[in-house]
Chains A and B, each alone.
Chain A
């Protein structure tokens, strides 16, 4: 059943959902250094439950998941506009996060790993040039 949520509730759910995923990752990182114990295990279980609950209420019940995963020919022009705009933001955010993670990995290695630095530079170049490359590839001649 489709359920409407206010913008404030949706934003809160987004923050809590990603916060839960982050907590999950931190717990695994901590377990590597201090080992598994009851508080860490409880935090992991809590994080998974919170992530699942917020995922279901934010993405599934509101049908937003279905909207962004529908085939293009199933959407009308407003829905296409909404999903294209969302994809544009998502692409930008995903690129920045991915590059920051890669940079953090590269910087955390005891010695500068030249291959990682090269991969980082190449991905940075790809991220900035990919949109115009797609246009260059697809644009018709006049």
Chain B
């Protein structure tokens, strides 16, 4: 069975935290080329790797990965605030 394409915010989050691909790769325990594949959404990570990525960025995995194309984090946060009536 071929898995669904997963979208992610890894590239943005990595840039925000000032990490190089090699540094992020070291933190999540993969080859740095794999970080490139993840950022280009050419490879779907295992659940274990997704959790490790979430732990590095300090975010739940649903904030990093999605089965639908992802909006910028700022837009998503604003929409959530509006939904909550803040």
Complex: A79 Cα to B29 Cα, angstroms: 12
- A76 located at the interface, meaning its Cβ lies under 8 Å from any Cβ of chain B in the complex: yes
- A32 located at the interface, meaning its Cβ lies under 8 Å from any Cβ of chain B in the complex: no
Taking CB atoms, residues of chain A closer than 8 Å to B46 are 77
Q: Look across to chain B and name the residue whose beta carbon is closest to the beta carbon of A78.
A: B34
Nearest Cβ distance between residue B27 and chain A, in whole angstroms?
13
B40-56 vs A: 1/0 string, CB under 8 Å?
Answer: 00010110010000000
- B30 located at the interface, meaning its Cβ lies under 8 Å from any Cβ of chain A in the complex: yes
Q: In A35-77, which residues have CB < 8 Å from any B CB?
A: 75-77
Nearest Cβ distance between residue A66 and chain B, in whole angstroms?
12
- B31 located at the interface, meaning its Cβ lies under 8 Å from any Cβ of chain A in the complex: yes
Nearest Cβ distance between residue A75 and chain B, in whole angstroms?
8
Complex: A15 Cα to B48 Cα, angstroms: 38
Size of the chain A interface, CB-CB below 8 angstroms: 6
Chain A facing B: main interface SS: helix
Complex: A118 Cα to B4 Cα, angstroms: 45
Nearest Cβ distance between residue B53 and chain A, in whole angstroms?
12
Taking CB atoms, residues of chain B closer than 8 Å to A81 are 43
Q: Are B29 and A78 in contact (CB under 8 A)?
A: no
Complex: A78 Cα to B46 Cα, angstroms: 9
Q: Are B29 and A76 in contact (CB under 8 A)?
A: yes
Q: Look across to chain A and name the residue whose beta carbon is closest to the beta carbon of B32.
A: A76
Q: Look across to chain A and name the residue whose beta carbon is closest to the beta carbon of B34.
A: A78
A73-105 vs B: 1/0 string, CB under 8 Å?
Answer: 001111101000000000000000000000000
Taking CB atoms, residues of chain B closer than 8 Å to A75 are 31
Complex: A32 Cα to B37 Cα, angstroms: 51
Q: Look across to chain B and name the residue whose beta carbon is closest to the beta carbon of A77.
A: B46
Complex: A104 Cα to B80 Cα, angstroms: 69
Q: Which residues of B contact A (CB under 8 A)?
A: 29-31, 34, 37, 43, 45-46, 49
